[in-house]
Chain A
């Protein structure tokens, strides 16, 4: 079983046991769990974003960049954690967004940490 799936199952189990199931019936995503309770995971997400995404592609400030700004809650391909996960993991063929699935040092858990970091410092013009 891929480690990410392990993690997802584990976190889903934790969510059910603790009764932490959201109104839509889905357990919280790993990113949401990180965001709520794991500052170290958010910090790692920040360092991963700093080291891989934020240099020349996705800026940490709004501006003229080829890649979208990711902190304004405006999501072209879906703004749920799982949709963002899919965007990062699968990339977008025929664009310059690569598929990061399986390429992060600690597997897909690192992608969830990046999402947790994006969530932690978002500044929404309109609530998402």
Chain B
């Protein structure tokens, strides 16, 4: 492995050096070095020989596979259906308690470690906070190549230095960066194939999600809803990095939907697309979701529904043209982003077979939406505490007026601004059981409305959530199983702290997630019975995956949280930050 160096040289003792030279200037030769120069630290380690087991490029057929293969995990959501359901039967209630650590790996970074690993050809592709990208031997954990992206230390980030993983296609892996680049690497060596600037991050844009690849295009949505940006979803040629289209999530003057913004508030409307979408080949439709309108907690200057914030969008994958939308939270003043994990579920509802999108939304309701036309099918609360609204027959919220932000709020409103669940982590879906699994946050806040001040590149919030339950130590979490046909909660497994971890279910009947106080947890899929816990240390914010390699069965977790958001949620306050990857394995035999 060879390394390349960053641009910044490190000079030590420069001041001392000059002072010494000054004292001896009469006798110092003119060419005496004035500084002690150290080599800059490496930032990029390239594999000198192609890594992996010679499987060849990732093909379109592989990316289309309906279920994740045992020895591959090629999408953020496992497959285009986004189920995050492993076909592995080896991981069962009978043996999951025997999992033991195969190897571990430190990322060297703080902040939330939210990765969903990609596995291909015996190589795990891992991203950490601050955009470190590692190619690791999936069996041993050995570093095969590594890239440390050099971000501005003062990035305008609302919510921490997260990255949720890469996409893979052909011989490329693609990572989006906090400073709004999309970079393609040769998966075999780590060399950069292309690097495209998505947009100007200094205006408050950032990219935290894993890209999605469909055919020859890579899609990435942008974050920045706390900065009054205009959200968008981009498509890029995977071969060249050239942009093919940009779909804005807030209309411009004269476009349909702009009438849902008072005045010129659409110009700073937000609606970021900060999570990963998915694709339906049969309908040839790209599905993406959007976040809050800006400013977050004061809607007085953006009266109206504020389309297309907090919405599910159906797009033409080649042009970006919008086919339809469904808005979960019109005129959001609580920060209930619409972009939690979506599942492409085919099931029977009230006796009728339906092609649906299922989503446990951040606003606390579980939704079933017809994915052919965006019509509302069903919506039910999945939280134990929800009082901001009910839903009418069309799925539109009927807002509790006492939940609206005020100058001096007193109403304990549920869920909190972090939501019942959150787009920063995934759920999973077991098609055999028909159950959606999600981590939930049971926490309520009082929403304060203040004066909104828009300045480009500075948070544009208009208010704040008072941390009622979090401050009182009353926040808690549940891991929840929801019937995808009825929206009914089948079981809840309570945890002491709010849960903010992704999910992985297996054909063997086990579902994995984790806790903010640092435990990996496995539950029985049918019942919610806890089968296994392992203390990793750092709070779990990652998306676990499983794979089989050389006859052994592995489960991968990232450990490491972000204290600021833990504070918001009401999580533990005394756990240090720091990313560590844990790879567990079932014993032989």
In the complex, chain A residues 74-118 whose Cβ is within 8 Å of any chain B Cβ: 94-96, 98, 103-105
A103 to B460, alpha carbons, bound, how many Å? 13
A65 adjacent to B567 (CB under 8 Å) = yes
Interface residues of A, CB < 8 Å — how many?
Answer: 27
A95 touches B463 (CB 8 A): no
A56 and B463 form a contact (CB under 8 A): no
B461 touches A104 (CB 8 A): no
Range of interface residues on B (Cβ < 8 Å): 20 to 34
Q: Are B573 and A64 in contact (CB under 8 A)?
A: yes
The CA of A43 and the CA of B465, in the complex, are separated in Å by 18
In the complex, what's the smallest C-beta–C-beta distance from B538 to chain A, in angstroms?
A: 14
- Decide: A105 near B451, CB < 8 A? Known: A51-B462, A64-B564: yes
> Assuming A64-B564, A94-B154, A96-B154, is B451 touching A54 (CB within 8 A)?
no
The answer on a CB contact under 8 Å between A65 and B452 is no
With A61-B471, A94-B154 as known contacts, state yes or no: A47 contacts B567, CB within 8 Å.
no
List the B side residues contacting A65 at CB < 8 Å.
Answer: 564, 567
A52 CB-CB contact with B under 8 Å: yes
Contact A50–B226 (Cβ < 8 Å): no
Tell me whether A55 and B461 are in contact in the complex, defined as CB-CB below 8 angstroms, given that A48-B450, A64-B563, A94-B154 are known contacts. yes
The one of A44, A46, A51, A94 that contacts B453, using a Cβ cutoff of 8 Å: A51
Quick one: which of A46, A52, A64 contacts B566, CB cutoff 8 A? Answer: A64
User: Residue A49 at the B interface, CB < 8 A?
Assistant: yes
Beta-carbon nearest neighbor of B160 in chain A: A66
Number of interchain pairs (Cβ within 8 Å): 83
In the docked arrangement, what's the CA distance between A63 and B563, Å?
Answer: 9
Q: Would you call B461 and A44 a contact (CB within 8 A)?
A: no
Beta-carbon contact of B453 and A103 below 8 Å: yes
Contact of B464 among A43, A55, A95, A96 (CB under 8 A): A55
Pair B297/A98 contact, Cβ less than 8 Å: no
For the complex, is B158 an interface residue (Cβ under 8 Å from A)? yes
The 8 Å CB contact of A50, one of B448, B457, B467, B566, is: B448
Interface string of A14-39 (1 = CB under 8 A from B): 00000000000000000000000000
The answer for the CA separation of A98 and B298 in the assembled complex, in Å, is 21
| A120 in the interface (beta carbon within 8 A) | no
Known: A47-B451, A63-B567; 6 extra A-B contacts, CB below 8 A, are A51-B298, A51-B450, A52-B459, A54-B448, A64-B566, A103-B455
A residues with a Cβ closer than 8 A to B are 43-44, 46-52, 54-57, 59-61, 63-66, 94-96, 98, 103-105
| 25 contacts across the A-B interface (CB closer than 8 A) | A47-B450, A48-B450, A48-B453, A50-B451, A51-B295, A51-B449, A51-B451, A52-B451, A52-B452, A52-B458, A52-B461, A54-B450, A55-B459, A55-B465, A56-B459, A57-B459, A60-B466, A64-B564, A66-B564, A94-B153, A95-B154, A98-B455, A98-B458, A103-B453, A103-B455
List residues of B whose CB falls within 8 A of some A CB.
153-154, 156, 158-159, 226, 295-298, 407, 448-453, 455, 457-459, 461-467, 471, 563-564, 566-567, 573
